[in-house]
Amino acid sequence: MFTLARLLAATSGRIVTGSADPSLTFAGGAFDSRILSPGTLFFALKDVRDGHDFVADAIARGALGAVVERTPTGVPDDALLIEVTSVRRALRRLAEALRDDHPIPAFGITGNVGKTTAKQAAIATLGARYRVLASASSYNNEIGVPLTFLNVEPTHEVAVVELGFYVPGEIADLCGLVRPRVGAITRIPDVPVHFSRTPSVEAITRGKAELVEALPADGVALLNADDPRVRALAPRTRARVVLYGEAPDAELRATDARDEGLDGLAFTVSYRGERAEARMPMPGRHLLAAGLSAIGAAIELGVPLDEAALALGTMEPPAHRMAVRRTPGLTVIDDSYNASPAAVHAALALLRDVPTRRVAVIGDMRELGVFSDPAHEEVGRDAARSADALVAVGELATTIARTARESGMREVHEAADAAEALIVLRRVTRPGDTVLVKGSRAIGLDAVADELAREAVAR
């Protein structure tokens, strides 16, 4: 929350129209008029589309005002407009000012797999003792991270921030705002998501290393001991390094992992001579690292091990990420938010052990560059081992379907898009089936998962 007076002081903005009451208070910031909450301030950012074209819609939906570079058309005469030279720069300056007004320790998270799950887990483990400021959804870039700090309140005691990487220097720049005291890197697989945007896996690794390089000397770098690329980053930081994982040399170690199927994963966690029982309320052995990193962050920021381990079981799973949606008709494993080869194989491994009839809905894995064809072929072979029926969705997924057939899978269906996939699934699924839904975000399979779950209840 912040006032108009704080906004103007931080951004050197000028009121063009509307109220000049310095005590006017905004509940936060937004850049998408379709999903903003009433009481927020709209930032007319220019990206693929020009945010100035949506200021009127933002005001109509309850925004108290807008930060603009020019006066947009169609806006009520009494609407509050604050003009600045650069909306993007104004957003960053306001976020920096609010961070300085309310300085709190921060936990930064990056990696190619498991960032958002680790973030949700850390909200729970740190929430055992503190009020947590956390990035919403996947707000992990130069827009989302500043918007996170626009929600800071005097009662917040710690921040949990996800940090994404697309270009060199991006995470380093974001760390200048976040100032993390504890940082965690989850996983950097052989074929990372968004690979086509970067020249090599080594470049991605260097980008992720920017987080631990930014940590202070009295900070803590949590590195996944089970990922060779991540653990090799230890020399890149001046902070104290804590290896976490199942490896024998992990200081923060998980042992006796017990797979509870679709109900989650239980394990024993050990650190500095202490032990506690912990549980991840999300299925999949591959998510254990995310839970461990969250426990580690909580411990390093003052939460006792036993409290952090217990609190992990209360985490709220991120939307469309390994969400098990049980209905009287179907069980839907909704992992539709995005897809990388490592994540798809992990999801199929979970489906493989389900005792019911298994249906895999697998969409394109986008932005894999030169790895695209072999990655989709390997998923096709894995689907043939893991499912009784396959619905391959999208142009790239035709390779998944072809390879699955060549691997001996009998029931293989293809769909051009999410809408057609839903039509196919209405014909293919049977009562009692377990359906895995997984694909790149651009395919829109989250709508398929939602509709499957809704229709299964209605059956």
Q: What's the pLDDT score for residue 148? A: 96
Tokens representing residue 266 in the block: 């239980």
What CATH number belongs to 102-312?
A: 3.40.1190.10
**pLDDT by residue (tens digit) across 171-221?**
999 999 999 999 999 999 876 555 545 668 888 899 999 999 999 999 999
Q: List % helix, strand, coil for the chain (3-state, nearest 5).
A: 40, 20, 40
Q: What's the pLDDT score for residue 113? A: 83
- Specify the CATH class of 2-86 in words: alpha beta
Residue 321 DSSP class: S
- The strand pairing partners of 358, in sequence order, are 434
Nearest to 67 by CA among 93, 34, 101: 93
Distance CA 312, CA 281 (A): 8
Return the domain boundaries, the chain: 2-86, 102-312, 323-458
User: Residue 224 — pLDDT band, cuts 50, 70, 90?
Assistant: very high
User: Residue 6 — pLDDT band, cuts 50, 70, 90?
Assistant: very high
**pLDDT by residue (tens digit) across 408-456?**
999 999 999 999 999 999 999 999 999 999 998 889 999 999 999 887 6
- The strand pairing partners of 269, in sequence order, are 254, 276
Q: What's the pLDDT score for residue 47? A: 82
Please report, rounded to a whole number, the percentage of residues in the chain having pLDDT higher than 90. 84
Nearest to 231 by CA among 289, 297, 286: 289
| Of 58-72, 190-204, 328-342, minimum mean pLDDT range | 190-204
CATH of 323-458, one of 3.40.50.300, 3.90.190.20, 3.40.50.12280, 3.40.50.1100: 3.90.190.20
**pLDDT by residue (tens digit) across 234-262?**
999 999 999 999 999 999 999 999 989 89
**pLDDT by residue (tens digit) across 142-158?**
999 999 999 999 999 99
pLDDT at 346 over 60: yes
Distance CA 185, CA 231 (A): 9
Backbone angles phi, psi at 454, to 5 degrees: -65, -45
DSSP H or E segment with residue 108: strand 106-110
Residue 193 DSSP class: T
- The strand pairing partners of 271, in sequence order, are 274
User: Residue 12 — pLDDT band, cuts 50, 70, 90?
Assistant: very high
When the pLDDT of each residue in the chain is averaged and rounded to a whole number, the result is: 94
The arithmetic mean of pLDDT across residues 329-341, rounded, is: 92
Residue 187 DSSP class: B
DSSP H or E segment with residue 397: helix 397-406
Please report, rounded to a whole number, the percentage of residues in the chain having pLDDT higher than 70. 97
**pLDDT by residue (tens digit) across 352-398?**
999 999 999 999 998 888 889 999 999 999 999 999 999 999 999 99
Can you list the positions of beta strands (E) in 163-202?
Answer: 182-185
Asked if 420 and 398 count as a contact pair (C-beta separation under 8 A), the reply is: no
Distance CA 439, CA 40 (A): 33
